[in-house]
Every structure is written in C-alpha cells, then in structure tokens.
Amino acid sequence: MLMEDARERIVVFGKRIATEGLAVGTSGNLSEYDPVTGLMAISPSGLGYFETTPQDVVVLRLDGSIVEGSRRPSSEAPLHAEVYRRRPAARAVVHTHSPYATTLAALGEPIRAVHFTIADSGAEEVPLSPYVTFGTPELAASVGTTFGEHPHVNAVLMENHGLIACGPSMDVAFGLAVNLEFVSRIQWQAECVGTPRVLSGEEVTGVSKRFETYGQPAGRKA
C-alpha cells in the first residue's frame, strides 16, 4: 500500500479532529505529501473520521490524478495541493472548521496576536482569504494567493469557512491548528469584553526567538 504510514497517521489525526472539536460530522480534511514521489495522501470525501481506514485514504498526484484508492478524495484536494505548491517545506496540511477560528472568519477578521503563541504560525497575524465556494479551483487559487502575499505564515483563515494550516509533519500542522483555535478563542472572548491588546511585530519576533530554545533538543512540541 502506497504511503502506508501517512495513511495511518491521517486516520489517527482525523479522529483527533473529531474528538477535539475541530470539525463537525464529515467536515474538515487532512493530508500528507511526499516530495520524492510527488504523491499526496488525503482523507476521503464525506466519510466519517471513525469510519475511515487507511485503505480509504486516497493517494493522488498534485494534479488530482488518483494513483491508489477506491474512494473519492476530499473535495478540498485542489486546496491542499496548492498549499504544498506555495509552501515547499510543508509535508502535512490540516483543514478545520473549528468554532472560534470560524467565528472570526464569519466576522471577517484575521487571527491577531492577542496571545504570544500565534508566533507558531510564523507571523504576527493569520490572514483572511476572501470567501469562495468550497471544493473549487477558485478557492484553491484564492487561498494560494493569500499564502503568496504572506510568505512567512503557515496558516490562512478562509472567510465564512474555516482554517487551513500546514507544517513539516502532521504533528506540527495539527498542533498549529489546535493552537490557532486557542488564540482565536482568546481574541473572540477579549472582543466580547473590550478591545484586546495586540502584540507588535517586534514582540512576536521576540517570542519566535525564544521558541528556538524552548523545550527539549528534539523539538519544541510537548
């Protein structure tokens, strides 16, 4: 079975999307990419996370041609492919409909530096991409443009839709999606009470530098 380890991780982390409240029902999707073979493994369309097996995960090329798998791939396969094109270092992409990030997306707001851990995203703000119908080439192009306009950020908020995050591994990409949901919640709660203080670019850069020496030598993630 092609990309067996990646397909198994997609099943495991798909269940976490459901159990950690990052999506409802069959919404959301996740993938991994192997630049050596040029193949992407992605979750199947419309299949529950607890129903999905590694055999259900579809392997395809970035142009959308299916290499292995009997299921229909996620409708957002073009979006995932575009992220890999825009972020050559990315090996995993996670797309969620998490409540607080999606609330900000519905308000037409980016995720701002209301908490220092936004530095995980690679920038001081997670930008907002304009609304485009889900599962379309136009959405992929729009989000790709937003990534292109913000070359250091590893996540984009999609207006009235949700969040897409990427990273060098599934663990990192998923962790970023979880963390940005936390930051989104802080932003929303603070805005309900008043006007939150937003960290400056210099302050976020300082956090990024501190992150370089945080945690154990194998990596910052706990």
Asked if 76 is an active-site residue, the reply is: yes
What's residue 217's pLDDT? 67
Could you report the per-residue pLDDT of 186-202, keeping only the tens digit for each? 999 999 999 999 999 99
Report if residue 143 sits inside a domain.
yes
Active-site annotation holder among 8, 32, 51, 76: 76
Q: Note the residue count of the chain.
A: 222
Domain of residue 134, CATH code: 3.40.225.10
Instruction: Report the side by side order of strands in the sheet with 66-68.
Output: 66-68, 58-61, 39-42, 29-34, 92-96, 162-167, 155-158, 128-129
User: pLDDT category, 219, cuts 50, 70, 90?
Assistant: low
Q: How many structural domains are present in the chain?
A: 1
Q: Which residues pair with 137 in a beta bridge?
A: none
41-87 confidence digits (pLDDT tens): 999 999 999 999 999 999 999 999 999 999 999 999 999 999 999 99
Domain assignment of residue 48, given as a range:
4-211
Please determine, for residue 222, whether its predicted confidence score (pLDDT) is greater than 50: no
* pLDDT tens profile 104-117: 999 999 999 999 99
pTM: 0.95
Other C-beta atoms lying within 10 Å of the C-beta of residue 178: 19
